[in-house]
Amino acid sequence: MSQTNIEKSIHSLDQQLPIFARTLISNYLNLSNPLNRYFLNNPDSVDAHSPKWHQWGIITHSRMFTRAIQTELPVFLREWNIDNFVNKELSVQIDGVTKHTLLQAAIVFHDIGKFACRQIRNSEPRTSFSFKDHELLSSQIVRNQHNLLISRYGFSDRQIDYVANCVNFHYTLGKLRDKAKETQHDFTIDFVRRPSTRADLVEIHENHPDYKLEIGIMYLGDSLAKNNIRIRANTDQEIKEQIPFIKETIKQNKLNPFLINSIKQTPVNIFMSRIYLQNIFT
Digit-coded pLDDT (tens) for 188-242: 999 999 999 999 999 999 999 999 999 999 999 999 999 999 999 999 999 999 9
Residues 75-82 have a mean pLDDT of 97
Model pLDDT, residue 34: 95
Task: Say which residue, 57 or 2, is predicted with more confidence.
Answer: 57
**Confidence at 102, pLDDT banded by 50, 70, 90:** very high
Question: In angstroms, how far is CA 151 from the centroid of its own chain?
Answer: 27
pLDDT tier at 125, thresholds 50, 70, 90 = low
Q: How many CB atoms lie within 10 A of CB 208?
A: 15
- Residue 72 burial (10 A CB sphere; 0-12, 13-18, 19+): middle
Would you state the pLDDT for residue 3? 85
127: confidence class by pLDDT, cuts 50, 70, 90: confident
pLDDT at 124: 54
Rounded Cα–Cα distance for residues 182 and 224 (Å): 24
Residue 181 pLDDT: 80
Dist. CA 89–CA 76, nearest whole Å: 16
Output the pLDDT for position 126. Answer: 74
Domains contained in the chain, number: 1
Please compute the mean of the pLDDT values over residues 246-250 and round it to a whole number: 97
pLDDT at 111 over 80: yes
Greatest alpha-carbon pair distance for the chain in Å reads 54
**Which residue would you say has higher pLDDT here, 71 or 121?**
71
The whole-number pLDDT of residue 123 equals 59
Task: Write out the residue range of the structural domain in which residue 70 sits.
Answer: 3-280
Positive/negative CA dihedral, 25, 29, 259, 253: positive
CB-based burial of residue 69 (10 Å sphere; 0-12 exposed, 13-18 middle, 19+ buried)?
A: buried
